[in-house]
Amino acid sequence: MLEKSRIVRGRGLLWLLLVLLLTQASAFRTVVIDPGHGGKDDGAKRYGVKEKDLNLDTAKRLEKILKRHGLHVVMTRRSDRYLRLQERAKIANRYQDAIFISIHYNAHRDASVKGIETFYATLAGRKLAAGIQDLLTRRIGTRNRGIKVGKQYAVLNKTRLVSVLVEGGFISNPWERRRLNGAWYRQIVAEQIAKGILIHR
């Protein structure tokens, strides 16, 4: 009898540990959204379409969806202002139970280059990036450029959180620029990123 209860208690502890580990791995209450560029830094720009504006608009749409799902949202900027990359990382690092999403749109010298790609810096970030990239390209018909290691991005390697950087399309590609200049497109980008975040929970 004594032996048996010891085993049962041992198993119970193991289960408790497992549950704790699993819930710890994915527990986050806060999403730090970082609309790339801003103020004097336009980011990519073609024919009057500025990346900084698209980033901020997409970020606000994402914020609205996440709040509706009960998540706490922090924005690194919510107006057209300049913020250094270190400042963005510093804001993110104030939170522990959080993930970090940086929103960008792309540009290339070759106007035929198009598509969506998502960057990450750590293994935990890779999982989140893969989920978001999959959901984005499943809904948006463009080239799937895949997930990539983005250790060169200060916002990724200076944040202690699970962090990803989404490049939602190329401003330099005429076909894609027309699309991402439309509110409907940025709404879809926001919705798919939100889904990727919510399943990661």
User: Where does this chain bind Zn ion (CB under 5 A)?
Assistant: 36, 43, 104
Task: Measure the CA–CA gap between 127 and 68, rounded to whole angstroms.
Answer: 24
Closest residue to Zn ion, based on beta-carbon distance: 104
The DSSP code sequence of 16-81 is HHHHHHHHHHH---EEEEEE--BTTB--SEETTEEHHHHHHHHHHHHHHHHHHTT-EEEES-SSS-
Structure token digits, residue 142: 């463009």
Q: How far is the CB of 37 from Zn ion (least distance, A)?
A: 6
Q: Which is nearer to Zn ion, 33 or 71 (CB)?
A: 33
Q: How far is the CB of 172 from Zn ion (least distance, A)?
A: 12
Q: How far is the CB of 93 from Zn ion (least distance, A)?
A: 21
Q: Which is nearer to Zn ion, 43 or 125 (CB)?
A: 43
Q: How far is the CB of 135 from Zn ion (least distance, A)?
A: 21
Q: Which is nearer to Zn ion, 36 or 150 (CB)?
A: 36
Structure token digits, residue 101: 């999403």
Q: Is 106 helix (H, G, I), strand (E, B) or coil?
A: strand
Cα 110 from chain centroid? 26
C-alpha atoms less than 13 angstroms from C-alpha of 47 in its C-beta half-sphere = 9
Whether the CB-CB separation of 92 and 163 falls below 8 Å is answered with yes
Q: How far is the CB of 104 from Zn ion (least distance, A)?
A: 3
Q: Which is nearer to Zn ion, 62 or 71 (CB)?
A: 62
Q: Which is nearer to Zn ion, 104 or 179 (CB)?
A: 104
Q: How far is the CB of 16 from Zn ion (least distance, A)?
A: 44
Q: Work out the number of other CB atoms within 10 angstroms of the CB of residue 137.
A: 19
Whether the CB-CB separation of 123 and 54 falls below 8 Å is answered with no
Q: Which is nearer to Zn ion, 104 or 177 (CB)?
A: 104
